[in-house]
Structure 1
Amino acid sequence: MTVRGQIVRFALVGGVNTGTYYGLYLALLTFLPYVAAHVVAFLLSMVGSFFLTSYFTYRTRPTWRKFLLFPLTNAANFVVTTCGVYVLVDVLRLERTYAPLVAAAAAIPVTFVVSRLVMLGPDRAAESAPETERNPVG
């Protein structure tokens, strides 16, 4: 399993997860307030994303430990995008309507690394990395 293949599958799962979230959100809006619809859609799509990430992206067996750690990938994404939006808008003066898109793109590599660590563990994540990624100094 190559890192490049994992990145492609990670991006595909992200697209499916976004579509799933949005479809659920729209469906739930018919009978829930928008904040409740957002929270329920977010949680349900995160569960689906966990299983897709486990089986499809990293081809690993899902466990309760991984399931409980999986929200860390979303937390990492949230921190990077939130800080990114602030820096882009308040420091670099980028238009606030575009800043979240740039910040989200910047968060993808961080989210991928956290996702690999959660799903494969530190030892397996390092094993499957190319030699230059495992030993960048030597």
Structure 2
Amino acid sequence: MKVETGHPMWLTKLLNKEFLKFIVSGAVNTVVTYLLYLLLYLFMNYSFSYTISYVIGIFLSYYLNTIFVFKEKLKLKKFIKFPVVYLIQYLINMALMFVLVEQLHVSPVVVPILIIVCTIPITFLISKIIIKGK
């Protein structure tokens, strides 16, 4: 990858085509799962609503990342590995959610958005490793 003059290498790599497509697919996934979370939150508490929407988001994320972002074929072996990323992320997210909602009294309606923004870079890197094998 050619580094543009005046831009640090890390910035050029960050803004590559795959990462930008990852942001777009992540935005689609976020909107879908957030709307699902809000719908479920009407009927159940925030942790159950978040868990259900999170699991559905894993399936959607694998599909979008594999087909749209990294242009790979869907494979059962990679799909089975993919949720490991999100299991770790889920545990971190639930801990953050508990602290933000219960300790800092941030609205449960806003917390999922704050958490997603914090986890984007690590999710991109781990997703790329699993899907592309690099």
TM-score scaled to structure 2, two decimals?
0.63
The answer as to 2:71 corresponding to 1:69 is no
| Offset at residue 26 of structure 1 (A) | 1.7
Structure 2 distance, partners of 1:52, 1:13, is 6
1:39 matched to 2:51? The reply is: yes
Superposed displacement of residue 36, structure 1: 2.2
Deviation at 1:115, TM superposition (A): 0.8
Which residue is 1:116 aligned to?
128
Task: Give the letter aligned to residue 42 of structure 1.
Answer: Y
Could you give the per-residue CA deviations for residues 89-109 of structure 1, whole angstroms, max 9, x where no partner exists? xxxxxx997xx959944x433
Please tell me whether residue 50 in structure 1 is matched to residue 50 in structure 2.
no
Query: What is the aligned-residue identity percentage?
Result: 24
Q: Which has the larger displacement, 37-46 or 49-58? A: 37-46
Unaligned 5+ segments in structure 1 are: 86-94, 126-138
User: Counterpart of 2:63 in structure 1: which amino acid?
Assistant: F
Which AA in structure 1 matches 2:52? V
Provide structure 2 residue ranges, at least 5 long, that are not aligned to the other structure: 1-12, 97-103, 107-112
Q: Distance in 1 between matches of 2:91 and 2:53?
A: 20
Aligned in 2, Cα 1:78/1:25: closer, same or farther, shift over 3 Å?
Answer: closer
**Structure-2 residue corresponding to 1:136:** none
Query: AA paired with 1:109?
Result: P
Of 4, 20, 23, the residue aligned with 1:8 is 20
What is the alpha-carbon distance in structure 2 between the residues aligned to residue 19 and residue 13 of structure 1? 10
Say if 1:32 and 1:53 are closer, same or farther in 2 by CA, change over 3 A: same
Compute the displacement of 1:67 (Å): 1.0
Deviations 1:46-104 (A, max 9, x none): 11111001100000011111111112332454577799x7xxxxxxxxx997xx95994
Q: Which amino acid aligns with 1:37?
A: S
What residue is the counterpart of 1:19 in the other structure?
A: 31
Deviations 1:2-35 (A, max 9, x none): x611100111111111111111112223434433
Go from structure 1 to structure 2 and tell me whether the alpha carbon gap of 1:23 and 1:7 turns closer, same or farther (over 3 Å shift): same
Structure 1 pair 5–42 and aligned structure 2 pair: CA distance change class (3 A): same
Q: Structure 1's 82 and 37: CA in aligned 2 closer, same or farther, altered over 3 A?
A: closer
